[in-house]
Amino acid sequence: MSTGVVVVGAAESDLGVTGKTALHLQAQAITRALADAGLRLSDVDGLATNGVSRFAAAQVAEYLGLGPRWTDSTFAGGSAFQLYVGHAVQAIRAGQASVVVISYGSNQRTARSRTHDPYEPQTPEAQFERPYGPLYPVSAYALAAQRYLFSYGAARGRAALSAVAVGAREWALENPRAYRYGAGPLTALDVESCPLVSDPLTTADCCLVTDGGGAVVLVSAARARDLPGAAVPVLGYGEATTGTSIIGLGDLLHTGAAESGRRAFAMAGLTPADVDAAQIYDSFTITVLLSLEALGFCAPGEAPDFLATGGLPLNTSGGGLSYCHPGQLGVLLLVEAVRRLRATADRVALVHGTGGILSTHGTVLLGAPS
């Protein structure tokens, strides 16, 4: 099955420590993705982006000289770009836009802008959580990791967390664009010997802090027939929102990915067994374990066995742990999925984003070019 909408362009901006502005990185990613699609800036009438300012879509549109008739600047953290895919499909099918660009860019490492107080004083959680001085968001994910180790075995769970980081590094060593390319292999002992950030998560369990950005271009399947590139069909998508605070999470081991994944698979008429490769948001190693289980690749508590037996190709760019993490990784997960579908025998790719404190969830299923 297909939604009738396809991805025809995908590209990254410069990555790492770039010395460029966020808007410059956005422009790089967008123009490169349009070139990949065989389209021009003047063809774009839909834009989805966030992060560069309060009025992100208007800011990027002005910078590039665009006048889009459809925009989306929903801020949902790491899952936003998977949500944008679903919203863009709906807009294209409704005739609200014909060429939609989904983009992101951040210079957080160059600008040293990562450190800030995340608590907005008017929110209920501020009075209950802020006095304890949690590191946001790592302390919340560390609580989930502690619960995972308690529920499924400390040694087994710790080994699985390490395996996520080790696997990401192995893929990064094959990717010249990866921040950790050339850094050498990572072992489980290396992961566990790194400085502790928030127990049990070490620095190697946490995503990178880099500059970077990416973009993908979506059009109808009918329009794609006139374009030179290989068109990757959007097969299904789903989203779910649970809560925004540590105190609102409830069961730390069951996330909204179960709902977003169920909706995406139902739309596509597929199951996890049909997926050939997965790009799953790895803000922290625990995020991957929880997502694999919630998405149905394995039962609760079985992610360690899934990883130990090879599972499936996972975060093949190196992910947020070893490739790049410019504040939000979601669009770059889409870029990698498109590249693999074009270059390998994979038939179905899953892309899953997680935002906030296990707060927002977006799942997209993409198919091989026909």
CA distance 259 to 183: 37
Q: Please give the structure tokens belonging to residue 43.
A: 């063809």
Residues ≥6 apart with Cβ < 8 Å to 294? 254, 255, 256, 257, 258, 261
What 8-state DSSP symbol labels residue 65? T
Of the residues 84, 141, 237, 281, only one is catalytic, namely 281
Known catalytic residue at 323: yes
User: Phi/psi of residue 320, each to 5°?
Assistant: -70, -20
CB 291 within 8 A of CB 257: yes
- Do β-strands 277-280 and 196-198 pair in parallel, antiparallel, or remain unpaired? unpaired
- Do β-strands 196-198 and 5-12 pair in parallel, antiparallel, or remain unpaired? unpaired
CA distance 277 to 315: 8
3-state secondary structure of 196: strand
Torsion-angle region of 277 (φ positive above 0: left; ψ -120 to 50: alpha; else: beta): beta
CB 363 within 8 A of CB 237: yes
Q: For residue 290, give the H/E element and its range.
A: helix 285-294
CB 99 within 8 A of CB 229: no
Of the residues 104, 148, 237, 323, only one is catalytic, namely 323
Q: For residue 261, give the H/E element and its range.
A: helix 257-268
| DSSP E strand stretches across 123-206 | 196-198, 201-202
CA distance 295 to 293: 5
3-state secondary structure of 61: helix
Q: Is the bond preceding residue 200 a cis peptide, omega within 30 degrees?
A: yes
| Dihedral angle computed from the Cα positions of residues 35, 332, 112 and 208, in that order, rounded to the nearest 10 degrees | -140
CB 28 within 8 A of CB 112: no
Catalytic residues: 281, 323
